[in-house]
Amino acid sequence: MTTKISRIFFIVFLFQWIINTNVFAILAESCGNTKQSAENIKDPLRSKTFVDSSFDSRRIFVIYDQHSSKISYNSKTVCTIINLLHDGLREYSFQVFLQSQFTKNYQLSDLLVDKKTAMKLARQKRADAVVLVSTDLNNYNKADAFVIHLKIDLKAFDVTTGKLLAYEEEKDNDILAGTLYTVDEVSTDLAEKITPFAVEKLVKKIVRQFTENRTKFTVFMFQNVQLETQDQIIDLLQEMSWDYKIESQLDQYLELSIYSEESPSDLRQHFRKVIKKHGIYLKSISFKGARAVFSGR
């Protein structure tokens, strides 16, 4: 009898708990999330959850190329373009570093005169990519109107190889009527109109590049090697069309991952022959498995 009463009390308690906690709603919500996760995995480019876990460690430098642009870096138009690009990259959880963040310490307005210099700074900060922004602004008279033409160029480069990851451009024009608006105001409106299209296409291309599978690789480590020699080594890898990634570069240390179907021993032998031919003399310190260590003399 006591056992039967205990079972009745337990059933009543369980029924009350189910009602109070709304467990069916929780189960339904969980099923909905599971379905959404499946859809996100199917189409990772549209999934914020996917990119949050995939690209939160990817670092991208955004640099305005003043030397090939007609609009000032401090203008409202350029500020609009940079902000829209920043927001587009952040939507995919990339770590974004803007030129203005380093102006005080590095004086980038004077330092970054070309792509090569931007690459060096990005490598020191262990960035994965550099996006160079440039603009072209022209105005001319057409009939009784004053036409303003704006063009935006966005180029993303792989910091490890210097290769072009993605390129997008957008252009449009508008008419400046009367004296109600300035050229800067009209060009800013144009920037707000066309930049999102270029940013969306550029970011998707970057995401595709970073989601490519790279499996087999050999690690080359260089110790006590001058920066000038490091640059020569990187230039040689590009000439040989080797697929590589700079894992670390600081002072006299350089670490590379070489992606190839060749065996590590064949890659090491090939590399030693090439650098010797070009007058680069390095001492082989160790070679074990898929890791080779070299040292400058």
| Residues 207, 92 contacting (CB under 8 angstroms) | yes
Kind and range of the H or E run holding 130: strand 129-142
| High-pLDDT (> 90) share of the chain, % | 32
Same domain, 191 and 240: no
**Per-residue tokens: 139:** 């105005």
Domain encompassing residue 240: 217-296
pLDDT > 60? residue 13: no
Looking at per-residue pLDDT, the higher value among 169 and 38 belongs to 169
Same domain, 246 and 112: no
Task: Report the CATH number at residue 233.
Answer: 3.30.70
Same domain, 65 and 188: yes
**Per-residue tokens: 177:** 């009527």
pLDDT > 70? residue 131: yes
Mean pLDDT (whole number) for 212-217: 63
Per the structure, how many domains does the chain have? 2
Same domain, 103 and 76: yes
Give the strands of the sheet with 253-259, arranged side by side: 243-250, 253-259, 217-223, 291-296, 282-288
pLDDT in tens, 93-127: 888 988 777 655 555 555 455 677 778 778 777 78
Same domain, 146 and 255: no
Same domain, 106 and 197: yes
Q: pTM of this prediction? A: 0.57
- Final residue in a domain of this structure, among 164, 184, 210: 210
Same domain, 197 and 248: no
Domain assignment of residue 32, yes or no: no
Domain assignment of residue 25, yes or no: no
- Final residue in a domain of this structure, among 210, 237, 260: 210
Looking at per-residue pLDDT, the higher value among 28 and 183 belongs to 183
Domain assignment of residue 223, yes or no: yes
pLDDT > 60? residue 25: no
Domain assignment of residue 8, yes or no: no
pLDDT in tens, 221-231: 999 999 999 99
Beta-strand runs (E) in 143-277: 145-158, 164-176, 217-223, 243-250, 253-259
Domain assignment of residue 256, yes or no: yes
Domain assignment of residue 77, yes or no: yes
Q: Around Cβ 153, how many Cβ atoms within 10 Å?
A: 18
* Average pLDDT of the residues of the chain: 77
Amino acid at 4: K
pLDDT > 50? residue 49: no
**Spatial distance between the Cα atoms of 235 and 251, rounded to a whole number of angstroms:** 18
Same domain, 182 and 244: no
Check residue 100 and give its pLDDT.
Answer: 74
Same domain, 172 and 286: no
- Final residue in a domain of this structure, among 189, 210, 231: 210
Of the candidates 262, 245, 263, the residue with the CA atom closest to the CA atom of residue 254: 245
Domain assignment of residue 15, yes or no: no
